[in-house]
A and B are shown apart, each in its own frame.
Chain A
Amino acid sequence: MSGNGLTYSEQGGEAAPELAQEAAPTVTPSTPAAFGLFSSDTKKNEDLKQMLESSKDSAKLDAMKRIVGMIAKGKNASELFPAVVKNVASKNIEIKKLVYVYLMRYAEEQQDLALLSISTFQRALKDPNQLIRASALRVLSSIRVPIIVPIMMLAIKEASSDLSPYVRKNAAHAIQKLYSLDPDQKEMLIEVIEKLLKDRSTLVAGSVVMAFEEVCPDRIDLIHKNYRKLCNLLVDVEEWGQVVIIHMLTRYARTQFVSPWKVMVDEYSENNFYESDEEQKEKDQKLKTTYTMDPDHRLLLRNTKPLLQSRNAAVVMAVAQLYWHLAPKSEAGIVSKSLVRLLRSNREVQYIVLQNIATMSIQRKGMFEPYLKSFYVRSTDPTMIKTLKLEILTNLANEANISTLLREFQTYVKSQDKQFAAATIQAIGRCATNITEVTDTCLNGLVCLLSNRDEIVVAESVVVIKKLLQTQPAHHGEIIKHMAKLLDNITVPVARASILWLIGEYCERVPKIAPDVLRKTAKSFTNEDDLVKLQILNLGAKLYLTNSKQTKLLTQYVLNLGKYDQSYDIRDRTRFIRQLIVPNEKSGALSKYAKKIFLAQKPAPLLESPFKDRDHFQLGTLSHTLNSRATGYLELSDWPEVAPDPSVRNVDVAESAKEWTGILGKPKKEKPTEKFYSESEEEEDESASTSSSGKCLESTAFSLPGKLCLQNCLVHK
């Protein structure tokens, strides 16, 4: 095989070596090294090179396919670069495409050689076939070679005024690529973005807004004039573009309109979300006097609403977050049904949607209360889905539904998935603190669980009971006694520590038992977990202060054990406690207050949702999912006190009409189409002709799609 290759390169060397000479400086150092190290690999590649240089397209294609296979597996195919790049001008479209794939992968590493291909693309940029123009632009902008920045810039500028919207779409994509290659081009790129934002094609809209978000998200002034157009085109934009546009418009609206919540915040934030019509009207009236929504604000809400019916979960979520952040609180409820629908989808979609619902349900319970049963857990759900559903159920718990919920929780506690059972116990604890009516019931239930066979369940119950007793420090001596008995059997450190803490804290309520517990634990001290040791020390200290007659010696003993413990923390704590409770000449003024320090009334722990603090992130974002700021997260601004001048969004009517008829060539389509909307509460926002013509496109579009694009092609040819 290798012999064959040699002879070939000698004979057919006319083409290849000359090329190699041109690019000599970069290629030569790499090739020999590879030769020596991976001789077997090179042999194989040698035969690929041969195929690439063959005169038959089929051989070339086979070679390219194998190379793409190598790239896909993550194998290095970079040394074939010179051989591959020669085929960039191949007549065979599949070879060409595969060469493009190769170029995009390796051009960055072999910049000088990649330059060989540039002129081919430059030529292709002028091809009469729009697909070829577009893909040339795609590849040209994807080979990250800094030297060609000016060429890219030029190509983007030209493509942005191409007659084919498909090419213009690709131009919008190229903007982002050029920007990440050379951020210095920002100013020039913004000009192109400005131009493309004016574009009326639904194909371009999503891509250019994406470029806007990446390059200059702070330049909202560029959006003003295009705002109404974007709102009106939205329904017809492809789904991915819709997501990007909706997110951008959400940010935009928060800077341009005044808050629709101001008056209502107090009345609506709580449970009275669904109330009688009369009350509603009354409030609406009150509202009208104080606040009227900007028609543009209304336009956005109205035009995004149909998208809740999208089959794309990302679009539905985008609309939901828009309503959450922008709509009057009485209207935000319409998104819940659609969000609940998404729960039928794949596990990953469920995960994200449930997270967002969890955040929503903390602030506005009413939105999801009617769908309580949709969050019931199935034994087949993955654990992460189960815990999220449980979280939401807990958020939704109120006096009316708590008994049903607790019955449901009882099933969950018995679940074979012990992690989930433990989470349920915590949820019961939260319900118990939030709804005072059921605190006792919950506590009793949890005490029953103490005799459960599963250690994790018992341990979790102990921890939760401890928290509950702290919030209700009344007369729970019985429970504490019960727990003291458990100490003999429970081995989970957290649970043991919790019991010891409880006994210490309320030692005066169980004066007979507490010293005995200390006696037992003093015996086992050396074998306990660090966590438990610390609590034994605490218990000793507290007993020493309240009942020193019985426990003085025991405590001394425990303190001595602690003094020589292996753990730094425990030695430290021992020293600290000894100084505080055992008065000697060296101990300072503090020991006088030892009792106050140890037996102070401690604030009860708050049992809160882990989703409590997530609401400062915009819903539906990666940052919200992670509960930490992701790179590139754009803060959602607060509503302005006074709305900025709304007239900036006005578009010159004559100009836009002219532009429009220019494209369509059918001016008679200008007819009012407002009746397409069933809920036309506001007629007055028909100020701009853009909105009517935009809808016009939608209503007439289906009749002449073919013609439209035909026209485009013809004009171009």
Chain B
Amino acid sequence: MLPARGAGPAGEAREELSGGGACVESTFGGFAPAQPGAAAAMIHSLFLINASGDIFLEKHWKSVVSRSVCDYFFEAQERASEAENVPPVIPTPHHYLLSVYRHKIFFVAVIQSEVPPLFVIEFLHRVVDTFQDYFGVCSEVIIKDNVVVVYEVLEEMLDNGFPLATESNILKELIKPPTILRTVVNTITGSTNVGDQLPTGQLSVVPWRRTGVKYTNNEAYFDVIEEIDAIIDKSGSTITAEIQGVIDACVKLTGMPDLTLSFMNPRLLDDVSFHPCVRFKRWESERILSFIPPDGNFRLLSYHVSAQNLVAIPVYVKHNISFRDGSSLGRFEITVGPKQTMGKTVEGVMVTSQMPKSVLNMTLTPSQGTHVFDPVTKLLSWDVGKINPQKLPSLKGSVSLQAGTSKPDENPTINLQFKIQQLAISGLKVNRLDMYGEKYKPFKGIKYMTKAGKFQVRT
């Protein structure tokens, strides 16, 4: 019984060879292998390189490109000294290497001919996002552990170097993400992670949503998250400040719901970019977001608050950092306090600062929280926590400098992180969320949050 089954496919193959194969042989026997054409597909190959410079994964969509091409990349990496200074586009004699650096991994795409560089870079970022979506985190270990799924996903994402399916909703139907439960079930039942039907989304005009979605609890959550980017100068006045926001959604609704979301004050939004699901025309004419949502987590909208509105700066930093010539000791003192917080608590405050190279060590005492100074990277970080307006957090102490060196030219810049819950600093408010196309009553939730983006204080 067993051998017979095993012989099945092989037998078939043999049969075919003697039939079709022979025919091919006789007609085109003298066919010389053709040279590949001049033009080539967009993304030829992909190499994943870790921090120590090992290529731990390679994938080719066309003829194999030798991994020695990465030597050019390593050269550039050496020249750049820091990972984030490696140029994203590196020309080599026969190829071009386009790379992105995320999660301490370089994703290096090999290109053979002219292509919009952003096309490749954006795609590589999408690959990383997909991995993150599939495995929760994107790291060398995870990728190595799931190499088969990674390969299957990459196979679906590109065909001949051109993106095929990059929507995670579609990909997840084609290749199911690994979960412990599924792995167990698969080993017992012999079923697989690979879907055998074309995802319905792929063909419809709503390619981002799969059909047949079912939930017992229908819920839709929207998070309005705003980030303040600011540069504050020495004296505490604002050099530049702007607010960027996103609305991230987690929608778990049965069927094909059609949602509309409207704002109390849509005029605040100056520049917006949408998830492909948002109907642009509705927005243009009525300033309403109308969309059939993808299933699960997605970013509905990113926006920029118009520059006319003055940006409220929720925190201030008082600083007194001084190095003296000739002395190997410097003074360091910073205090963080709330400014325009609309009565909300500022929390998750974190202060980081890159000290000059000549700083040997710092002896500091915080009034609250914990602080670390790394004498190798010269990075000071102070995890402050919540700001209590009655008792402002401060960090005081002395800095010891390398003896004999002159005092640093510049005082270090202070980078600030913080969070304010239940507040959109721009004042943006969602008016209502309505659902059409389905009968049930979903649970709807909205959350606001303000965070520091790139928030710097020059001292």
By a beta-carbon cutoff of 8 Å, the part of chain A in contact with chain B is 12, 14-16, 18-19, 22, 53-55, 57-58, 61, 65, 68-69, 71-74, 85-90, 92-94, 97-98, 100-101, 105, 108, 111, 115-120, 122, 129-132, 134, 138, 141-142, 144, 146-151, 164-166, 170, 173-174, 176-177, 179-184, 202-203, 207, 210, 214-215, 235-236, 238-240, 243, 247, 306, 309-314, 316-318, 337-338, 340-341, 344, 346-349, 351-353, 370, 373-374, 376, 378-380, 382-384, 408, 411, 414-416, 452-454, 620-623, 625-626, 628, 630-634, 676-678, 697, 699, 701-702, 705-706, 708-709, 712
Contacts and interface: CB of A to CB of B under 8 A. Distances in A.
A73 B56 contact: yes
Given A94-B194, A183-B37, A373-B240, A706 B274 contact: no
Contacts of B99: 348
B6 A12 contact: yes
A147 B39 contact: no
**Leading 8 A-B pairs by shortest Cβ distance:** A632-B113, A119-B16, A705-B204, A94-B192, A131-B198, A414-B410, A701-B205, A709-B203
28 contacts: A72-B58, A98-B148, A118-B20, A132-B196, A141-B160, A166-B202, A176-B160, A180-B37, A238-B163, A309-B280, A310-B273, A311-B273, A314-B116, A314-B122, A317-B116, A337-B271, A344-B244, A346-B125, A348-B88, A349-B121, A379-B456, A452-B409, A453-B409, A620-B116, A621-B114, A621-B116, A630-B96, A631-B112
B28 A236 contact: no
B122 A312 contact: yes
Given A15-B11, A317-B116, 4 more contacts: A239-B166, A338-B273, A352-B118, A621-B116
A131 B273 CA distance: 33
Contacts of A235: 280
Interface string B398-413: 0000000010111011
Nearest to B301: A311
Contacts of A151: 24
Contacts of B159: 138, 142, 170, 173
Nearest to A89: B9
Nearest to A65: B148
B111 interface: yes
A16 B3 CA distance: 11
The interface centre, meaning the residue of B3, B202, B205 with most chain A CB atoms within 10 A of its CB, is B205
Given A16-B10, A382-B82, A352 B88 contact: yes
Interface residues of B, number: 134
A311 B274 contact: yes
A567 B364 CA distance: 56
Interface string B288-299: 000010000001
Given A98-B148, A383-B85, A180 B36 contact: yes
A19 B14 CA distance: 6
B227 to A, nearest CB: 9
Contacts of A384: 85, 87
B438 interface: no
Contact of B299 (A105, A165, A311, A317): A311
B457 to A, nearest CB: 10
Interface stretch (B149-157, B389-397, B426-434): B149-157
B118 A620 contact: yes
A369 to B, nearest CB: 13
B133 interface: no
B382 interface: no
A664 to B, nearest CB: 12
The interface centre, meaning the residue of B13, B41, B59 with most chain A CB atoms within 10 A of its CB, is B13
A86 B205 contact: no
B309 interface: no
A285 B7 CA distance: 82
Interface in B123-182: 123-125, 147-148, 150-152, 155, 159-160, 162-164, 166
B274 A309 contact: yes
A706 B210 CA distance: 10
Contacts of B166: 238-240
B21 interface: yes
A180 B44 CA distance: 13
Interface in B89-104: 89, 91, 96, 99-102
A93 B196 contact: yes
A708 B205 contact: yes
Contact of A376 (B12, B24, B162, B231): B231
A376 B240 contact: yes
B389 to A, nearest CB: 28
Contacts of B117: 352, 620-622, 625
Contacts of B310: none
Contacts of A69: 147-148
Given A416-B357, A622-B117, A118 B21 contact: yes
B447 interface: no
B148 to A, nearest CB: 5
Interface stretch (B60-68, B329-337, B341-349, B367-375): B60-68
A19 B356 contact: no
A631 B114 contact: yes
Nearest to A57: B190
Given A86-B13, A180-B39, A453-B406, A68 B151 contact: yes
Nearest to B277: A702
B440 interface: no
B13 A117 contact: yes
A74 B64 CA distance: 10
Nearest to A377: B231
A144 B123 CA distance: 25
B213 interface: no
Contacts of A14: 3, 7
Contact of B118 (A94, A148, A149, A313): A313
Contact of A705 (B37, B87, B205): B205
B200 interface: yes
B184 interface: no
Given A238-B207, A382-B84, A702-B206, A416 B162 contact: no
A74 B114 contact: no
A146 B87 CA distance: 38
B324 interface: no
A373 B239 contact: yes
A165 B187 CA distance: 35
A129 B205 contact: no
A347 to B, nearest CB: 6
B5 A55 contact: yes
A268 to B, nearest CB: 23
Nearest to A186: B37
Contacts of B87: 351, 384
B458 interface: yes
A626 B91 contact: yes
Contact of B84 (A238, A347, A625): A347
B406 A705 contact: no
Contacts of A240: 119, 123, 162-163, 166
A340 B116 CA distance: 18
B302 interface: yes
A313 B118 CA distance: 7
